[in-house]
């Protein structure tokens, strides 16, 4: 990957990082996001956190190669343990992992008081978006923006959250389909839920063939199908 040319999903995430932010990129992989933003003078400081040795070494190599050691710290740490109080982080990016895992990372950070509530959260789950939205809602975060992007046949949602003075109340439908995505209903959104619909319909068809009593499960699947069809 060219230093300044990010992949489609990371380009989408980069658009939500505030100008001159002090960024913590958790699960930074090759530190592609912070290095690209630093080269463009979009951020003032960054921490690239990695929990796995291989990607940690790759991130260090990338930062060294680009001579960005003064402004980007690469740290081998679990989740938000990568952040120190003196970093004065005001934006946290967690991209390209499951929504449940992102929720767990945030939750541990919340318990350890590594989340101050002053940070903008730029989150990009590839599955389990509803779980993540539920965590944000339960911890009184406002979802200020959303986007959806497709890369290499995979669909990623972007959820941007901040603490605001008023506490939002979201419906179950908004938590499932997205607060803004469900209103916009763009082509990638429709493609995602069309695929989901086909998957649920296939499960329902297989339940009908089952020898055991599957009435409860069938009713759940039928409700799910009705909900998705209504959304589409």
Per-residue pLDDT band at 70 (split at 50, 70, 90): very high
Which tokens is 54 given? 């291989």
DSSP class of residue 3?
S
Q: How many CB atoms lie within 10 A of CB 30?
A: 17
Count, in order, helices (H) and strands (E) of the chain.
9, 7
Dihedral angle of Cα 74, 78, 80, 81, to the nearest 10 degrees: -80
> In CATH, what is the architecture of 8-175?
3-Layer(aba) Sandwich (3.40)
Please state the separation of Cα 39 from the chain's center in Å.
23
Per-residue pLDDT band at 23 (split at 50, 70, 90): very high
CA distances from 153 to 9, 108, 198 (A): 12, 31, 17
User: Domain segments of the chain: what residues?
Assistant: 8-175, 189-231
Closest CA to 145 of 16, 25, 19: 16
Per-residue pLDDT band at 76 (split at 50, 70, 90): very high
Looking at the chain, the whole-number percentage of residues with pLDDT higher than 70 is: 98
pLDDT at 45 over 90: yes
pLDDT digit string, tens, across residues 102-148: 999 999 999 999 999 999 999 999 999 999 999 999 999 999 999 99
pLDDT digit string, tens, across residues 143-196: 999 999 999 999 999 999 999 999 899 999 999 999 999 999 999 999 999 999
Which tokens is 224 given? 């799910």
pLDDT at 211 over 50: yes
Per-residue pLDDT band at 205 (split at 50, 70, 90): confident
pLDDT digit string, tens, across residues 88-102: 999 999 998 999 999
pLDDT at 42 over 90: yes
* pLDDT confidence of residue 36: 96
* pLDDT confidence of residue 4: 61
DSSP string, 25-94: EET-TTTHHHHHHHHTT-EEEEEEEESSHHHHHHHHHHHHHTT-TTTEEEEE-SGGGG--GGG---EEEE
* pLDDT confidence of residue 221: 84
> Any idea how long the chain is?
232
105 neighbors 26 (Cβ within 8 angstroms): yes
């Amino acid at each position: 990957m060219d230093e300044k040319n990010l992949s489609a999903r990371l380009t989408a995430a980069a658009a939500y990082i505030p100008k001159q932010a002090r960024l913590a990129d958790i699960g930074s992989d090759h530190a592609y996001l912070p290095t690209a933003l630093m080269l463009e003078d979009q951020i003032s400081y960054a921490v690239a956190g990695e929990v796995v040795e291989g990607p940690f070494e790759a991130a260090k190599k990338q930062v060294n190669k680009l001579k960005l050691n003064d402004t980007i710290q690469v740290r081998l740490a679990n989740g938000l343990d990568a952040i120190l109080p003196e970093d004065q982080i005001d934006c946290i990016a967690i991209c390209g992992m499951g929504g449940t895992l992102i929720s767990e990372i945030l939750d541990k950070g919340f318990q350890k008081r590594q989340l101050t509530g002053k940070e903008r959260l730029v989150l990009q789950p590839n599955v389990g978006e509803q779980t993540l939205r539920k965590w944000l809602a339960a911890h009184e975060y406002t979802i200020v923006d959303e986007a959806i992007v497709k890369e290499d046949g995979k669909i990623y949602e972007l959820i941007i959250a901040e603490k605001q003075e008023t506490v939002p109340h979201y419906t179950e439908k908004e938590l499932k389909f997205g607060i803004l995505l469900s209103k916009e209903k763009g082509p990638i959104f429709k493609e995602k839920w069309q695929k989901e619909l086909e998957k649920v319909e296939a499960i329902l068809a297989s339940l009908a063939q089952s020898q055991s009593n599957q009435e409860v499960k069938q009713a759940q699947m039928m409700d799910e199908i009705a909900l998705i069809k209504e959304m589409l």
